């Protein structure tokens, strides 16, 4: 299920489902979307502070729920990541969300919401940079170009003109499947819950930030032992930003950790994608059908919004 595209004059809602955003940077990010001719409504919990959370769990859940149910709101954008999205999913009414499909955009901690919404409703959502944490500074032109995919059905095509791509495992020919996933930490934290990530017959996308290699090793090991790497038809490896050894100076590299678990799983993978907490970053629609070509080293993802 794809949401309607945005048009100039539409109103979008800003929510903080996790941690409170930097309000000064948020204003700069909002300015970017106003330049597209959009009106902006800021959710009631965005300015709340409850320790490391933007208000109580019920505050944040009700804010997101109301944005989905408000007919005046045509798209919902996360202001910031941090932590807390997983605490609100059990308070959401996914039947009402399914009845009111619209654009939901964010990444990082919002990964838990992406997978919960997709698995409960089938709605395509968008993995992309957020207004406070990512769009509060000067925006790279490549990053900005992928923000525009919510205005017009846009096929995302990625090849080695953007970055060098490498194949791990026995990847040959083309694989077509829905692309799901996001932040590795959040995907791993879903295991054993009602919202456990379902990777069966999907292209699993993973990325992360500020995690040391041994921590990433632990998470990939858990996903593999849970069968999640094996159940996917392919793995799309995004950027692991600032994931360098700190606590343990003698360390395996990120490449060694990824190769170890991917080869054990026997699932072909392609690495090197500028997707995640990096700059520039390529935004993608999660739940949309992707065609991953191992011979040509390309991926093509269908538009995430409806056409005319």
Write down the catalytic residue from 114, 127, 261, 277: 277
Write down the catalytic residue from 19, 45, 78, 108: 108
Write down the catalytic residue from 189, 207, 211, 261: 207
Is 308 considered catalytic here? no
Is 256 considered catalytic here? no
Helix ranges (H only) for the chain are 23-34, 57-69, 94-99, 111-121, 141-147, 184-189, 213-225, 228-231, 254-265
CB atoms within 10 A of CB 91: 13
Q: Any idea how long the chain is?
A: 308
Of residues 84, 90, 77, 174, the one with CA closest to residue 130: 77
Tokens for 262, please give them.
């991917």
Tokens for 44, please give them.
């009631």
Sequence-ordered list of residues with C-beta below 8 angstroms from that of 92, at least 6 positions apart, any chain: 61, 64, 65, 116
Is 45 considered catalytic here? no
Which residues are known to be catalytic?
Answer: 108, 207, 277
């Amino acid at each position: 299920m794809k949401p309607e595209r945005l048009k100039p004059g539409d109103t979008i809602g800003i929510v903080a489902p996790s941690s409170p955003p930097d309000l000064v940077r948020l204003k700069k990010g909002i300015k970017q979307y106003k330049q597209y001719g959009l009106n902006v409504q800021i959710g009631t919990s965005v300015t709340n502070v409850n320790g490391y959370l933007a208000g109580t769990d019920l505050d944040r859940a009700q804010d997101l729920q109301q944005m989905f149910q408000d007919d005046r709101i045509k798209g919902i954008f996360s202001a910031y990541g941090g932590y807390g999205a997983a605490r609100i999913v059990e308070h959401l009414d996914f039947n009402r969300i399914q009845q009111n499909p619209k654009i939901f955009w964010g990444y990082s901690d919002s990964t838990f919401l992406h997978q919960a919404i997709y698995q409960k409703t089938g709605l395509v959502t968008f993995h992309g940079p957020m207004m406070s944490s990512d769009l509060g500074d000067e925006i790279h032109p490549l990053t900005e170009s992928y923000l525009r995919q919510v205005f017009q059905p846009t096929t995302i095509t990625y090849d080695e003109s953007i970055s060098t791509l490498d194949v791990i495992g026995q990847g040959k020919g083309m694989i077509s499947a829905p692309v799901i996933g996001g932040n590795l930490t959040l995907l791993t934290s879903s295991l054993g819950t009602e919202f456990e990530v379902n990777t069966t017959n999907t292209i699993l996308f993973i990325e992360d930030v500020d995690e040391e290699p041994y921590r990433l090793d632990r998470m990939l090991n858990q996903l593999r032992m849970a069968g999640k790497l094996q159940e996917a038809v392919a793995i799309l490896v995004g950027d692991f930003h600032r994931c360098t050894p700190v606590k343990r100076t003698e360390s395996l590299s990120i490449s060694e950790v990824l190769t170890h678990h991917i080869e054990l799983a026997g699932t072909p993978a392609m690495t090197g994608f500028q997707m995640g907490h990096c700059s520039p970053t390529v935004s993608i629609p999660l739940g949309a059908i992707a065609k991953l070509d191992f011979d040509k080293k390309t991926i093509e993802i269908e538009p995430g919004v409806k056409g005319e």
